[in-house]
Amino acid sequence: VDNFRRGDPGVLYFCSHAHADHVSGLTDTWSRGYVHCSLVTARLLALRWPGLAPQLRPLEVGVSHRLEVGCVPGDGAADPGDRDSAAQPRAMALEVTLLDANHCPGSTMFV
């Protein structure tokens, strides 16, 4: 959350709000992944950095969202008829809900 300087594979990026100390590392050409945030924060970020708009993924506040997180090695729970599928990487999922932080327009907490 609010850390845009690292670029590790499989990382999900979240922006809690558009204050300068929470968007450090974002630029017009930032492309390390998608930035999940509220709709208001997405609009503010796109105004500041128009080139960032394709990376923004606004999420509705108060709704549970399921997000794919990178890949992990197969866990053996794959189709028993397919010997190779158990060894294939599979996507993990994270469930997140945005709550209004009542700090500034668009600010959220991620639960």
Q: Comparing C-alpha atoms, which of 90, 108, 87 is closest to residue 98?
A: 108
Mean of pLDDT over the chain: 85
- Do the Cβ atoms of 34 and 23 come closer than 8 Å? no
- Looking at residues 7-35, what average pLDDT do you find? 89
Angle at 48 between CA 45 and CA 49, to 5 degrees: 80
- H-helix segments, the chain: 39-48
**Among 81, 20, 67, 72, CA closest to 45:** 20
Q: Is the pLDDT of residue 36 over 50?
A: yes
Average pLDDT over residues 44-61: 96
pTM of this prediction exceeds 0.95:
no
